[in-house]
Amino acid sequence: MKTAHLLIVLLLLLWPAFPVQGTDRIPAEVSDSRDWPEEGGSFSRRAPNVYRLRPLLSPTEIERQWKTLEDEHGKEKVKEARRLAGMLDRPNSRETTEGFIRCIAAYGLEATEKETRNVAKMVRHNPHRNVGTVIVRLRKKAGK
């Protein structure tokens, strides 16, 4: 049993060293690579899909990223965007926070907050419960 645990730990530590087919960077928590069969080919002959978790960042790296974001947009804007991201259970996501910063700049804080409250009412496992849905709804309301 201990050998199996050790093997799993080693695999997790070495996993980022293995290349992932078809991805230059990892845009979300999980990246994947899909290999489709040739025209008229069989799915049984295609290569398997490859998945890899994004590597963990050190606390100092995370703090540096938040500091950079605050320097670019201002502490108050980042604080408001993180509060809105928290409504969607993503207060520590830099990508979500950046999305809300752009959304607030384009549509205003009041409209963004109102639409975020509506999206936050969705059940937690709903895939549309994210900043992208907020942006799409605000674009529709603005007629863009």
In tens, the pLDDT along 64-95 reads 999 999 999 999 999 999 999 999 999 999 99
Contacts 24+ apart (CB under 8 A), 94-100: 94/65, 94/66, 94/69, 95/28, 96/130, 96/131, 97/69, 98/69, 99/131, 99/132, 99/134, 99/135, 100/131, 100/134
- Position 45 in a domain: no
In tens, the pLDDT along 16-51 reads 444 444 444 444 455 555 666 667 667 677 777 777
- Position 104 in a domain: yes
- Report pTM: 0.63
What is the tally of structural domains in the chain? 1
Report pLDDT for 119: 96
- Position 69 in a domain: yes
Tell me which residue range forms the domain holding 125: 59-142
Q: What is the percent of the chain where pLDDT is above 90?
A: 58
- Position 16 in a domain: no
- Position 72 in a domain: yes
- Position 112 in a domain: yes
